[in-house]
Amino acid sequence: MTIHRTLIVMAAGLGVLATAPLAHAQQKGEFGSQGQFIFSADRLVPLIAWSKQQTSANNQNGGGNASEEQSTVSLLVGTTGNPEFESFYTPPRLGFDYTIIPNLTVGGDLFLVFGLASSATTSNPNGNVSVNGPNNTAFGIAPRVGYILGLTDIFGIWLRGGISFYDANSSRPSGVVGCNSTPSDSNGEYVFGVDLDPQLVITPINHFSFTVGPAVDLGFAGSASSTRYTGCNTSTTTSQGYQQYNLGLTGGLLGWF
């Protein structure tokens, strides 16, 4: 996960920096002027993050609800530290926004995370046995509106907020043997919510800025499901309600023209 984050941060940073020459050639006034395109690399560095997930399902022993909660705090790393609980809200993402009138922006964030093919090999008296490793994917989209407040030539505030949708899926070989092909156990979660991330914008040179500010994410409506194989053609699937919340302080980059 750390290597993936490093590559994402480097790529996002280079992408934003690449807009600087074009921005210089197509100046359109100060940050927030009408008709500007803003490209941002958001949440590159989670300075601090607190995340919680909650699942709920019908209690089969008399009705009502059963719930499970899990909370973690991470410093300078975009993961919860628990491989069974990865937050939707801490991975870096790319932002695209446009000022439709002076200071008013519309746009959103987008991220995509996927694992490359992997395998594990073990040795025994009958030879080597190779099995596929876990496969993980995650997708997120967060449309938003914003308003830019210019404080000085260097400092400004970009108020941003909107709705969001996140989805993640993972699968791994079930361990059931003797089948024509190895079935895969799987997990999936999705959640709808509201993302708020007002940012302090620091502009050391024209058309290039650093951002830092709070992130408040309320994923209040979703679902989590899991499928487990007990035989070649026998499986059990469970589904339950799912919520995820995040509160943190993040840093990023942006370029505008």
Tens of pLDDT, residues 137-147: 889 999 999 99
Q: Are 111 and 92 in contact, with CB atoms under 8 Å apart?
A: yes
Q: Is residue 219 scored above 70 in pLDDT? A: yes
170 phi and psi angles, rounded to 5 deg? -145, 150
Q: What is the mean pLDDT of residues 217-236?
A: 92
Grade residue 208 by pLDDT with cuts at 50, 70 and 90.
Answer: very high
Residues of the chain with pLDDT > 90, as a percent, come to 49
What pTM does this model have? Answer: 0.77
Distance CA 171, CA 188 (A): 9
Distance CA 246, CA 163 (A): 14
Distance CA 189, CA 170 (A): 9
Distance CA 57, CA 60 (A): 9
Q: Tell me, which fold does domain 2-118+130-256 have in CATH?
A: Porin (2.40.160)
Ranges 36-50, 58-72, 122-136: which has the least confidence: 58-72
Query: Which amino acid, one-letter code, is at 4?
Result: H
Q: What is the pLDDT of residues 72-112, one digit of tens each?
A: 666 665 554 444 556 888 889 999 999 999 999 999 999 88
Distance CA 34, CA 26 (A): 13
Q: What's the start-to-end Cα distance of the chain, in Å?
A: 33
| DSSP label at residue 26 | T
213: CB partners within 8 A, 6+ apart? 197, 198, 199, 200, 249, 250
Q: Burial, 234: exposed, middle or buried (Cβ in 10 Å; 0-12, 13-18, 19+)?
A: exposed
Tokens of 105: 């922006």
From residue 127, alpha-carbon distances to 77, 104, 179 in Å are 40, 65, 19
**Which one has a higher pLDDT value, 117 or 2?**
117
pLDDT for the residue 166 = 95
Q: Is residue 162 scored above 90 in pLDDT? A: yes
Grade residue 171 by pLDDT with cuts at 50, 70 and 90.
Answer: confident
Collapsing DSSP to helix, strand or coil, 5 comes out as helix
Q: What is the pLDDT of residues 3-35, one digit of tens each?
A: 444 444 444 444 444 444 433 333 456 899 999
Q: How high does pLDDT run on average in the chain?
A: 80
